[in-house]
Homo-oligomer: A and B are copies of this chain.
Amino acid sequence: MENNLEKYVDVANCPVRNVLDRFGDKWSTLVLLLLNEAPVMRFNQLHKAINGISQKMLAVTLKSLEGDGLITRKQYAEIPPRVEYKLSTRGASLLPHIENLVQWANANFDAIEESRKAYNK
């Protein structure tokens, strides 16, 4: 049993953590879910759709997702510039799992809220 747990022990080098950290951040899942609803989206479209995100964080998030190959970025040589983001195959393969979590969260939200209240009372 002790050995069984070793695989989780080394947080720094854990591949799971390394990957999960990416969409455990504040905005990544949101972007992925949005890109799953539309075929492509532009920067400002995402910016408007995600209430509260700053330009900076959207840019950072998109870069991170692009760097991981979860989304693709297509830039058109036009003026004004146009950039389209879409889910990659890899990103699409991740999405069902995220949606499962979303469903679980929705299904358990009320109960969890009650637990929290009872706990903090």
Contact = CB atoms under 8 A, between A and B. Distances in A.
Contacts of A1: 37-38
27 contacts: A5-B34, A5-B37, A8-B30, A8-B34, A9-B49, A9-B51, A10-B51, A11-B52, A15-B105, A15-B106, A15-B109, A16-B101, A16-B102, A20-B102, A24-B24, A66-B119, A67-B115, A67-B116, A67-B119, A69-B119, A90-B111, A90-B112, A93-B104, A94-B108, A97-B101, A100-B100, A101-B101
Contact of A37 (B4, B18, B20, B30): B4
Contacts of A17: 30
A39 to B, nearest CB: 10
Interface residues of A, number: 49
Contacts of A120: 67
A51 B16 contact: no
Interface string A47-83: 0011111000000000000111100000000000000
